[in-house]
Amino acid sequence: MPLIQRSDFQPQGWDRNTYWSTIYPSLFRKVEGVIYERERLELPDGDFVDLDWSRKNSRRLVIVLHGLEGSADRPYIRGIIKVMNEADWDGVALNFRGCSGTPNRLTRGYHSGDTGDLDFLVKQVIASSRYDEIAIVGFSLGGNVTLKYLGERGAKLHPTIKKAVAISTPVDLSTCSIELQKWKNWPYLNSFLKSLKEKIREKTAVLEGLIDLKKAYSAKNFFQYDDAVTAPLHGFESAIDYYTKSSSLPYIPKIKIPTLLINAKNDSFLSEESYPIALARESALFHLEIPDFGGHVGFVSRQLKGYYWTDLRVKKFFNQDF
């Protein structure tokens, strides 16, 4: 019964506050000592993704996926890469389409349920025969992609992939989109929509006629944006169709490797459905940890080397025997 009843994450003072722990890392956290080598991975559909590698000449690799409108440069990504490098793992951060600082080529972008690019990367890595062991870490949107990918493949997952961790993950997209409409999340929602709409403006000329630009620019929440943009650009009938087909929650029971989901109880982005306690109690492989604190992709902690709790928790999980 891998439901972790009591988390050892016990921050103090302001680090226990939902909003402080969510905002503080993005504004003030610095992760030194990670030097990336960029590789452009050409995709079968004519598009590309940029990969940021940090190699230690290891036979073990961790693949790290960022959240909505993030990138490999986010401190939460660099933190994982650094701690795993020091544990003698290679690391590679996948920048989703259009998130590396260079617009992608196609009209489509990335979304919460798109596991194709991750799958293509995994296949390329396995074909290189450089690694005996692969682990995956996903944050927020990247966590949903990770869990859905593992569940889609189930027992057919390549045996080189041994373990995975998802952090601050909205496993039920529909109810989480409703949660993000609440007044408490307005600053975050506004920031995300501003970034997403800016990408639409960059591609206005090629998107004309493919989406309703007026609806896209006037969207006040994720449901309206996804209905106007995400769904039509990625082959979904509507936002509801997108949420239903892209949520990782139905795929969790099909996961066949040791996997840990860490969702803070005070994460203001997440709905009740994003804490699948019953699934964890019934599973021998799906682990669920619900710290009281941490916010969304926060988990601020004061470590000597600048590590956050999630960095060390990921390393500990990957070192466990199952």
Concatenated DSSP letters for 219-249? --SHHHHIIIIIHHHTT-SSHHHHHHHH-SG
Place of tokens 């994982």: 80
Among this protein's residues, is 268 annotated catalytic?
Answer: no
**C-alpha neighbours within 13 Å on the C-beta side of residue 252:** 30
In whole angstroms, give the CA distance from residue 271 to residue 171. 9
In whole angstroms, give the CA distance from residue 259 to residue 99. 26
In whole angstroms, give the CA distance from residue 28 to residue 163. 30
From the list 72, 64, 70, 79, the residue with the least C-alpha distance to 32 is 79
DSSP 96: P
Q: List Cα–Cα distances, 124 to 20, 44, 224, in angstroms.
A: 39, 12, 36
In whole angstroms, give the CA distance from residue 121 to residue 93. 11
In whole angstroms, give the CA distance from residue 227 to residue 242. 9
Among this protein's residues, is 140 annotated catalytic?
Answer: yes
Among this protein's residues, is 112 annotated catalytic?
Answer: no
From the list 220, 208, 222, the residue with the least C-alpha distance to 177 is 222
Catalytic annotation, pick one of 21, 112, 140, 274? 140
From the list 87, 83, 89, the residue with the least C-alpha distance to 55 is 89
Catalytic annotation, pick one of 15, 52, 117, 267? 267
Place of tokens 């793992």: 89
Catalytic annotation, pick one of 111, 234, 287, 296? 296
**Catalytic positions, written as ranges:** 140, 267, 296
